[in-house]
Homo-oligomer: A and B are copies of this chain.
Amino acid sequence: MSLIVQKFGGSSVADAEGIKRVARRIVDTHKAGHKVVVVVSAMGDTTDDLIDLASSITEEPSAREMDILLSAGERISMAVLAMAVTDLGVPARAFTGQQAGLHTDTAYGAASIVGVVPERIARTIQDGEIAIIAGFQGVNQENDVTTLGRGGSDTTAVAFAAALRADVCEIYSDVDGVFTADPRVAPAAQKIPALTYEETLEMAAHGTKILHLRAVEYARRYDVPLHVRSSFSTKEGTWIVNESARSRWEGDNEAPIISGISHDTSQAKITITGVPDKPGAAARIFQVVADSGSSIDMIVQNVPVNAPGMANISFTLPITDVKRTFRVLEEKREELGFDKVFQNDGVGILSLIGTGMRSHPGVTAKFFAALANAGINIDMISTSEIRISAVLDADDVATAVRVVHQAFDLDAEEEAIVYGGTGR
Q: Which of A60-68, A358-366, A410-418 interfaces with chain B?
A: A60-68
Q: Which residues of B contact A62 (CB under 8 A)?
A: 82-83, 86
Q: Are B65 and A53 in contact (CB under 8 A)?
A: no
How long is the Cα–Cα vector from A143 to B93 in the complex, in angstroms? 13
Is residue A69 contacting chain B, with contact meaning CB distance below 8 A? yes
Least distance between A40 CB and chain B CB atoms (Å)? 13
User: CB within 8 A of A54: which of B57, B60, B83?
Assistant: B83
A53 CB, min distance to chain B CBs, angstroms: 6
Q: How far is the CA of A94 from the CA of B58 in the complex (A)?
A: 15
Q: Determine the chain B residues whose CB is within 8 A of the CB of A145 once the complex forms.
A: 96
Binds B, one of A73-81, A295-303, A314-322, A332-340: A73-81
Contact between chains at A99 and B143 (CB < 8 Å): yes
B72 touches A57 (CB 8 A): no
Contact of A80 among B57, B96, B99, B144 (CB under 8 A): B57
| A87 partner, pick from B57, B82, B86, B96, beta carbons under 8 A | B57
**Chain B residues with CB below 8 A from A72, complex form:** 72, 75-76, 79
Q: Please, which residues of chain B bring their CB within 8 A of the CB of A16? A: 53, 56-57
A189 within 8 A of B: no
Given A86-B58, A99-B144, A143-B99 in contact, is the A65-B93 Cβ separation under 8 Å?
yes
CB neighbours (8 Å) of A59 from chain B are: 87
Q: Are A80 and B53 in contact (CB under 8 A)?
A: yes
A80 touches B54 (CB 8 A): yes
Say if the beta carbon of A20 comes within 8 Å of chain B: yes
Minimum CB–CB distance for A255 against chain B, Å: 45
What residues of chain A have their CB less than 8 Å away from a CB belonging to chain B? 16, 19-20, 50, 53-54, 56-62, 64-66, 68-69, 71-72, 75-76, 78-80, 82-84, 86-87, 93-94, 96, 98-99, 143-145
Known contacts A54-B79, A61-B83, A72-B76; can you find 5 more A-B pairs with CB under 8 A? A53-B76, A65-B83, A65-B93, A66-B79, A71-B75
The 4 residue pairs across chains A and B that have the minimum distance between CB atoms: A69-B79, A58-B87, A16-B56, A72-B72
Can you sample 29 A-B contacts with CB below 8 Å? A16-B53, A16-B57, A50-B76, A53-B80, A54-B80, A54-B83, A57-B80, A57-B83, A57-B84, A57-B87, A58-B86, A60-B87, A61-B83, A62-B83, A64-B93, A65-B79, A65-B80, A65-B82, A65-B93, A66-B79, A66-B83, A68-B75, A68-B78, A68-B79, A68-B94, A72-B76, A72-B79, A96-B145, A99-B143
